[in-house]
Structure 1
């Protein structure tokens, strides 16, 4: 068995299939890890979901902010935006099955061997691996419950910007979700900056989440996406940035987890 991890697809199905053909991916024997943002902005969101769902137990998936946004729109919590490209999913005959399948995906996945851990945006510096896993389960439990629609009503927002173990209710779940799906720059105590999306910032206390010296997961191998401006480079041991901006016309990246060899497929701007 070979495990492969691929960066944000965002509805760009053809580059994904190009990569899988290149490595001769076999869903009967191999695993495909997906760092989230499966859909939206690209041209084939519906086909992408149907294809990934068809792969069955060979996939390991975490949800990204675009996936959660789609689920919020589908639940009626918010209207779709002008740049959203998932109308075809909303109109599809198998919409209920696709939504149910998405709601069962995780915010954080760890291999049973504990050699790799995957989230969409990363793990904030103040959390241990066990804390992160526990907090992820809190949100996942709500997504698969009768309260999922209520969660989406309260999911959006930037406040509070810092974790506090005493947070409760929807506020607590919103902050956890923001860490796992929207984080880029933060302070050592986890205070988030939501404004800056490039690879540098003019706030000296704020660093990329993975660059903090005392980050509590620095000895863990973490796979993430979300941050296309990094162009796949963190310059930090044990962190693997796989969003290389396919939907923006750059490339889609796939990593062989056994060898850490990288494969790339060039993409067309959407």
Structure 2
């Protein structure tokens, strides 16, 4: 039995099927961990969402920022943007079922037997595993409640950016969503920075990647994440593996076998061209 963590799909189903063939995925014995961002920008968002949903308990996926954006569009607090590829989902006959399935996915998954933790963007450097799990479970419960429209009307925004400055429940939950699905860099006091997206070599020197913050509480725990396609090679950075290798942009879709940290990848056709190109 093997467990494969797979990088951001973003609506690119064909590379996923090629990668599963490459690792000889056996649905009877193997399991898949998806780092989130199943949908958006790629050409097969609807098909990718259905494919992962239909894997059932053979797959675990955490929510990414594009998945959260889709949920916001469905529940009326967001609108699809020009480069989005969400319309087929929003108008699908099984859209209700897909959205209900998606909003019940976790923000964080920890497997004690494997000693691995799965998130989309990262875990705040001040948080222990227990604190991160508490933040995730509280926010997931609100997302799965009977009034998701209320949750998604309040969850978006940059104002919740520091772990100690969240006076209300929704502020605390917004901060959790920002950490788990959007975080890249932190200021020295632990405040999130949402503007900087360049590589660490080119970024503002006053900012630090979340996984490189001195004294990070989970530095001894293995974490696998996505979200950061420009980060560079899929290598451990303080026990944190970033495996989004930019499939959407014509680079690679990568799988990390968690039992032995073996890497597998397939080349991807460019579904989108970066704006700077």
Shared topology, TM-score over 0.5? yes
Deviations 1:220-249 (A, max 9, x none): 000000000113346623111010001011
Structure 1 match to 2:92? 92
TM-score relative to the length of structure 2: 0.94
Residue 218 (str. 1) matches residue 219 (str. 2): yes
Residue 230 (str. 1) matches residue 211 (str. 2): no
CA distance in 2 between counterparts of 1:68 and 1:214 reads: 30
Q: Secondary structure at the match of 1:229?
A: coil
CA distance in 2 between counterparts of 1:229 and 1:223 reads: 16
Q: CA deviation at 1:268?
A: 1.3
Structure 1 match to 2:11? 11
Structure 1 match to 2:175? 175
Q: CA deviation at 1:7?
A: 0.3
Moved more, 111-120 or 86-95: 111-120
Structure 1 match to 2:136? 136
User: Are the aligned partners of 1:126 and 1:189 in contact in 2 as well (CA < 8 Å)?
Assistant: no
Structure 1 match to 2:46? 46
Deviations 1:71-96 (A, max 9, x none): 10011112111111011111111111
Structure 1 match to 2:193? 193
Q: CA deviation at 1:54?
A: 1.0
TM-score relative to the length of structure 1: 0.96
User: Are the aligned partners of 2:32 and 2:59 in contact in 1 as well (CA < 8 Å)?
Assistant: yes
Q: Post-superposition, which runs of at least 4 consecutive aligned residues in structure 1 deviate over 4 A? A: none
- Length, aligned pairs only: 270
Structure 1 match to 2:274? none
Structure 1 match to 2:105? 105
Structure 1 match to 2:80? 80
Q: Secondary structure at the match of 2:125?
A: coil
Q: CA RMSD in A?
A: 1.4
Q: Secondary structure at the match of 2:72?
A: helix
Closer, same or farther: CA 202–94 of 1 in aligned 2, 3 Å = closer
CA distance in 2 between counterparts of 1:108 and 1:174 reads: 15
Structure 2 match to 1:116? 116
Q: CA deviation at 1:190?
A: 1.9
Structure 2 match to 1:241? 242
Q: Secondary structure at the match of 1:139?
A: helix
Moved more, 167-176 or 49-58: 167-176
User: Are the aligned partners of 2:160 and 2:166 in contact in 1 as well (CA < 8 Å)?
Assistant: no
Structure 2 match to 1:252? 253
Q: CA deviation at 1:202?
A: 4.7
CA distance in 2 between counterparts of 1:39 and 1:242 reads: 17
Moved more, 43-52 or 188-197: 188-197
Deviations 1:136-193 (A, max 9, x none): 0011001110232111111221113211175322221111110000000102432011
CA distance in 2 between counterparts of 1:235 and 1:61 reads: 21
CA distance in 2 between counterparts of 1:121 and 1:114 reads: 20
Q: Secondary structure at the match of 1:228?
A: coil
User: Are the aligned partners of 2:232 and 2:245 in contact in 1 as well (CA < 8 Å)?
Assistant: yes
Structure 2 match to 1:23? 23
Closer, same or farther: CA 233–261 of 1 in aligned 2, 3 Å = closer
CA distance in 2 between counterparts of 1:246 and 1:45 reads: 14
Q: Which runs of 5+ in 1 are unaligned?
A: none
